[in-house]
Structure 1
Amino acid sequence: MKAVVLAAGEGTRLRPLTEDKPKGMVEVDDAPILTHCFDQLIELGADELVVVVGYLKEVIIDHYGDEYEGVPITYTHQREQNGLAHALLTVEEYVDDDFMLILGDNVFDANLADVVRRQREDRADAAFLVEEVDWEDASRYGVCDTNKYGEITDVVEKPDDPPSNLVMTGFYTFTPAIFHACHLVQPSNRGEYEISEAIDLLIQSGRTIDAIGLDGWRIDVGYPEDRDEAEELLQDSDLEPVEQ
């Protein structure tokens, strides 16, 4: 399975950490966020990394080159920051089967393998981790609305008035059906092509979608304090005793 990593963002909210590097290259626990992403994807079985670059792309390309830990890397270029669905379409010609997707500014210590397994078992067109966040933070994310059976009926990106506090995290698996949905996405109120809108189109068309509850933790590194929290959590994980 190929793995797509979205790493084109500038990270303006992470200033001054991103003055000379893209946000995926901000170090957490002595390694760039992208290194943590790559390690996890390879552990999940990725046999190729397709990395979408943009802002200061040469920093990423010079650092990793054309392979990481023996796994080849292909780079695509998002020339304008027009949203995640727009970024994903830059990899369409390189991906022709099911694939993993991770946002290159997220740090996980969680059940990512459950997403891969469930998507394969259910032959779902999309599977992703969800978690409940504080209501005041929900508007930062793609928010899931559910029916009385707990099934996701709608996904909306960064709503002013969130319908729930259940949000998508930054790890997904997809079939190529997601590319068709991305082509149909219209610009949001923010002027961006949102991946949440593409997923919502899959839902409304009756496609099989799996949402798996987060077991562990995830930090979306959007601000310097997020980076500090992720580093503390990783260091705590390193100090946990090994079970005998």
Structure 2
Amino acid sequence: MLGVVPAAGEGTRLRPLTEEKPKGLVEVAGKPLLAHVFETLAASGVEEVVVVVGYEGDAIRDYFGTSAAGVPLSYVEQNDRLGLGHAVLQAESHVDGPFVVLNGDNVVAGDLREPMARQRDPDVDAVVAVEEVDLATARETGVVSVEGGDDGASERITGIAEKPTDPPSTLATTGAYVLPEEIFDALDLLRPSERGEYELADALGVLIRAGARVEAVPLTAERVNVNAPADLDAAAEIVRERD
């Protein structure tokens, strides 16, 4: 399966660390942030990775070249940073079948084999890896509405809201997805959100309304989304525990 890693952002909340280099090259436990992302995908069985670059993208290309963690790398450019959905759309020409998305600022103490395996079920179209969060965090991220599944481990998603004022649940998206090719048709239908971005959550909503089965699978491994300097220490800690 192919992996897509959005890594085009400027990482403004990590400045001054990102003033002269991209967020993906900021070190966590002695390695660039993106190295940990590539290792997670390789451990999950991903066979090729497309990296979506933008801000200081040449530095990422120069550092990693054509492979990382034993997995071939290729690159696409996101010249205008218009949201996660827009970033994923840039990889369309590389995709032939289901694919994994793992945000380029995610450090995961584990792999994505469980959500990937769930998507292989012929009755499942897409999978969103989720985790339980508190109400305050739910207001600052994407959350899903679900209806109970029969297996006790996954639930069907009935809706996704991005940074809702009144969250419908405390099941938050984690920046890890397993998606079908049809997501690109859904992305093509979108208009920018109130934030001026093309939201991946909105494209998943299009699929859900069209009858696709999109499931929420708990991400059982510890995870840190690296946005601010304090997150670097937390991410380094889970890397040390994992290793």
User: With structure 1 as the length reference, what TM-score do the two structures score?
Assistant: 0.92
Runs of 4+ in 1 over 6 A off after TM superposition: none
Q: Is the 8 A contact 2:156 2:214 kept in 1?
A: no
Q: Distance in 2 between matches of 1:221 and 1:69?
A: 20
Q: CA deviation at 1:68?
A: 2.2
Q: 1:236 aligns with which of 233, 237, 241?
A: 241
Q: Which residue is equivalent to 1:23?
A: 23
1:219 aligns with 2:229: no
Q: 1:167 aligns with which of 147, 166, 172?
A: 172
Q: Is the 8 A contact 1:50 1:75 kept in 2?
A: yes
Q: Is the 8 A contact 2:41 2:112 kept in 1?
A: no
User: With structure 2 as the length reference, what TM-score do the two structures score?
Assistant: 0.92
Q: CA deviation at 1:138?
A: 1.1
Q: Distance in 2 between matches of 1:216 and 1:69?
A: 20
Aligned length: 238
**What residue identity is the alignment partner of 1:153?**
T
Q: Distance in 1 between matches of 2:196 and 2:61?
A: 28
Q: Is the 8 A contact 1:125 1:177 kept in 2?
A: no
Q: CA deviation at 1:69?
A: 4.1
1:207 aligns with 2:221: no
3-state SS of paired residue (1:121): coil
In structure 1, the gaps of 5 or more residues are 239-244
Identity value in percent = 46
Q: Which residue is equivalent to 1:115?
A: 115
Deviation by residue 1:152-196 (Cα, 9 ceiling, x = unmatched): 211011123222211111111111011111111221110100111
3-state SS of paired residue (1:21): coil
Q: Distance in 2 between matches of 1:34 and 1:123?
A: 33
After TM superposition, the structure 1 = structure 2 runs for residues 1-244 of structure 1, keeping only pairs within 5 Å, are: 1-110=1-110, 112-147=112-147, 151-238=156-243
Deviation by residue 1:34-57 (Cα, 9 ceiling, x = unmatched): 111111211222221111000010
Q: CA deviation at 1:140?
A: 2.2
Q: CA deviation at 1:148?
A: 7.0
**What residue identity is the alignment partner of 2:238?**
L
Q: CA deviation at 1:146?
A: 2.9
Q: CA deviation at 1:71?
A: 2.7
**What residue identity is the alignment partner of 2:197?**
E
In structure 2, the gaps of 5 or more residues are 150-154
Q: Distance in 1 between matches of 2:124 and 2:20?
A: 40
